[in-house]
Amino acid sequence: MSSQLEQLKTMTTVVADTGDFEAIDQYKPQDATTNPSLLLNAINIEKYRPLAVEAVAWAKQQTNDNAQVISKAADKLSVLIGANLMAQVPGLVSTEVDARLSFDTQATIDKALELVALYKEQDIDTSRVLIKIASTWEGIQAAKILEQQGIRCNLTLVFAFAQARACAEVGAYLISPFVGRILDWYKANNADTDFSGANDPGVQSVTHIYDFFKKHDYKTIVMGASFRNINEIQLLAGCDRLTISPGLLSELAATDAPLVRQLTPTTETVAAPEPMSEQAFRWEMNQDAMATDKLSQGIRQFAIDQEKLEAILAELV
């Protein structure tokens, strides 16, 4: 029997959650995605450091302002790594907007346009680029405008159903609900509760979102992310896409038990409800302690890693 990784690929698009080119070459996913944490890990590997040197050299040709050099170099590096990933996967690559812009709609739009322009300079087919944006209200509104301009978006750090629904209502191309981080929060706050198997709240969240999107015929793709074990992946087999780390890809590749499809789109759809207002979105987020905590924490961590990445680039300047 084929491995569970190969079985999964027959029902779900597998995406590599890494900036490690060798891991992608080994497991041959359809798409790839990066974030500041993954970029930081990548350039801390010596063989990938030349990409950082190239990014800094390019940025120094654009401006004499050191702060601007570092900012431009960070953008260029994310695009260089994205371009390298595109040479390895046949599908899409997600490139993330600076998390520090998560509460500024216009700044997010401007940064997305800059990233797309950099990809064009690399002669990259920008239809293969997804702009990755945190699922704040401001980020979701930025995605609405970008999608209208033909720039497809990956709305990330999705923890609440309200976030998922609002993303679908603005026509976001794809969302990334974070399975493992949801589980982490519930374990930390409910130590005596059994969250194994189908009791996993992250699995339940993605299943609910998937079923709602299919029931109401939203076109937004659901891509489960941030897995803690392969059982979470097995329980979401059939989801539109799953983005998986190299370690868990390796476990799936080494497992040859039958993999049963768990998520299947409905054949009967009904009209979608009226779109959420900003007030309703913010109230639902306020009422969801887990989502509020994890969204804030995720943005902070990506911002910290962005600053660490820029510190390394500053040394090269």
**Catalytic residue list contains 187:** no
Structure tokens at 295: 């969204």
- Cα separation, 221 vs 234, in Å, equals 19
Question: From the candidates 111, 132, 144, 294, which is the catalytic residue?
Answer: 132
One-letter amino acid of 118 = L
* Residues whose CB is less than 8 angstroms from the CB of residue 266 and which lie 6 or more positions away in sequence, other chains included: 211, 214, 215
> Taking the C-alpha atoms of 178, 180, 181 and 186 in order, what is their torsion angle to the nearest 10 degrees?
120
**Token match 């350039």: residue?**
43
Structure tokens at 2: 């084929």
31-33/221-224 β-pairing: unpaired
Q: What is the 3-state secondary structure (H, E, C) of 34-66?
A: CCHHHHHHHHCCHHHHHHHHHHHHHHHHHCCCH
Q: What does residue 136 show for φ and ψ, rounded to 5 degrees? A: -80, 170
Structural contact between residues 103 and 67, judged by C-beta atoms closer than 8 angstroms: no
Give SS3 for 122: coil
**Token match 């804030």: residue?**
296
Q: Which residues are tagged catalytic?
A: 132
